[in-house]
Amino acid sequence: MANLAQAIRMALHYGETHLGVTDVFGQDVGAPLGGVFTCSQGLKTAWNAPLDERGIIGTALGIAYAGGKPVAEIQFCDYIYNCIDLLKLCGNAHWSSAGEYHVPIVVMTPVGAGIHGSMYHSHSFESIASHIQGWTIVMPSNAKDAYGLMLSAIADPNPVLFMAPKGLMRAKGDELIPGEPADEKTLHQMIDAPVGDRSQWQPDWPALQDYRVPFSQARIVRPGNGLTVVSYGRQLVQCAAVALELAADGIDAEVLDLRTLYPWDEASVFASVRKTGKLLVVNEDTEVTNFGEHVMRRVTDACFYDLVAPPQLLAGLDVPGVGLAWGYEKHSVPQPEHIAQAMRTLAAARP
């Protein structure tokens, strides 16, 4: 099965051949590297931008204004902070121009911890991103969703922020992407650039098909009745694994993968909470003014009389960074043991 980076690459290839993508660009996005996570290897529209994040977003906006369809990459979300005013301009151009212009751009950026990335390769960005209006924000937790969300992002005429969990880039899917060869060695030979000299290399793309994951549709990863766990990205994978483990102890968690963080699938989350009466949101952004707090507030408003325990948030510790030594990351970014503890506590809660 394709890993998440290969899935993104195949989606971008589908995008440039079928959905009008004109430019895939960013730092080290073009040849020879094809992206620090290999997400853009072999793409015909990929090119290397100057090391200038503001220039990347501004240029993407210009390309979009002139009728192009750019996918711009910020190499790590840790370096997107100096672009916030530009992201705001992308998100408000349609509204501020009274509908005269719109901004069909995709910005993709790797997010989160889990790769011993230290202070500046471990940031989460969704809480800040959720304050930048006019953007659709997505984060896949598996390769097939990455493919389907990227195609939806490309096809959408509004700005879409595609956040790829760094820690899952090499994670293989468990479902084939439509058109993907069944044998992963074959896929590797077809689309992964060789190590060493690549100057003559050309990818041999499989006959990929259109497959979209619609925005604002959560996925029930594991059905259950005891408590609702809402997560996304790398933490979703951890939550699903923990839920499976705890099932043996009679803890029956329903795990939802939000997939689109904004506008998010309130209906599915509310329906689940109305059934279980309990909500745990898990993510790894720092906990103060965390996106999960927004989910909790909406759930509290909509499902107050269905709740049998206070909604819970398990998030990153409110410290200035994720330190390099494992002791820092282990104790500041949710780990399976923290998730298990939070699920057990909530499962045991009685009114």
Partner 1 sequence: MQPNLALQNHRDDTVLTPTFVPGPNDTRWTPPALDAALQVRIHDLMVKARATEEMLIRMMRTGHGYFWIGGPGEEAYGTALGMLVHKGHGPAYDYLHLHYRSSAVVLAMGSEPIDLLRQMRSTVTDPYSKGRNFVNHFAIKPWNIVPVTPTIETQYLMAPGTALMQRRHGGFGCSIVTGGDAGSAEGDFYSAMNWSTRPGGELPVLMLIAQNNYGISTAASTVQNTPNLHQRADGFRIRNARVDGNDPIASWHALVDAMDYVRNERKPFVLQVNCSRLNGHSSSSGAARHDEPDCVQLYEKRLLDDGLATQTELKLVWDKWNALLSDALKTVVAEPMPDREHVLQHVWYRGPAGN
Within 10 angstroms of residue 239's Cβ, the number of other Cβ atoms is 32
- How far is CA 211 from each of CA 11, 144, 146, 176, 348, rounded to the nearest angstrom? 9, 9, 10, 11, 41
CB-nearer residue toward partner 1: 128 or 241:
128
Which is catalytic among the residues 13, 116, 121, 123? Answer: 121
CB-nearer residue toward partner 1: 117 or 134:
134
Q: Which residues bind partner 1 (CB under 8 A)?
A: 20, 22-23, 50, 52, 54-55, 57-70, 85-86, 89, 93-102, 104, 133-134, 155, 157-158
* Nearest distance, CB of residue 145 and partner 1, angstroms: 22
Active site residue 94: no
* Nearest distance, CB of residue 36 and partner 1, angstroms: 21
CB-nearer residue toward partner 1: 99 or 327:
99
Structure tokens that stand for 193 in this block = 């650039």
Structure tokens that stand for 314 in this block = 């398990």
* Nearest distance, CB of residue 47 and partner 1, angstroms: 9
* Nearest distance, CB of residue 58 and partner 1, angstroms: 2
* Nearest distance, CB of residue 187 and partner 1, angstroms: 30
* Nearest distance, CB of residue 10 and partner 1, angstroms: 21
Q: What b/e sequence results for 316-328 when a residue is b if at least 16 CB atoms lie within 10 Å of its CB, and e otherwise? A: beeeeebbeeeeb
CB-nearer residue toward partner 1: 103 or 187:
103
- How far is CA 254 from each of CA 130, 144, 246, rounded to the nearest angstrom? 25, 21, 12
Handedness of CA 321, 324, 328, 329 (dihedral sign): positive
CB-nearer residue toward partner 1: 56 or 177:
56
Q: What b/e sequence results for 280-302 when a residue is b if at least 16 CB atoms lie within 10 Å of its CB, and e otherwise? A: bbbbbbbbeebbbbbbbeebeee
Between helices 84-96 and 53-65, what is the axis angle to 10°?
20
* Number of residues that this document lists for the chain: 351
CB-nearer residue toward partner 1: 52 or 337:
52
Handedness of CA 41, 43, 48, 54 (dihedral sign): negative
DSSP E strand boundaries for 18-85: 23-26, 46-48, 70-73
Q: Note the helical H segments in the chain.
A: 4-18, 53-65, 84-96, 126-129, 143-155, 184-191, 233-247, 266-276, 291-303, 326-332, 336-348
CB-nearer residue toward partner 1: 81 or 95:
95
SS (H, E, C) 293-314: HHHHHHHHHHHHHHCCCCCEEE
Residue with token string 């041999």: 204
* Nearest distance, CB of residue 64 and partner 1, angstroms: 6
Catalytic residues: 121
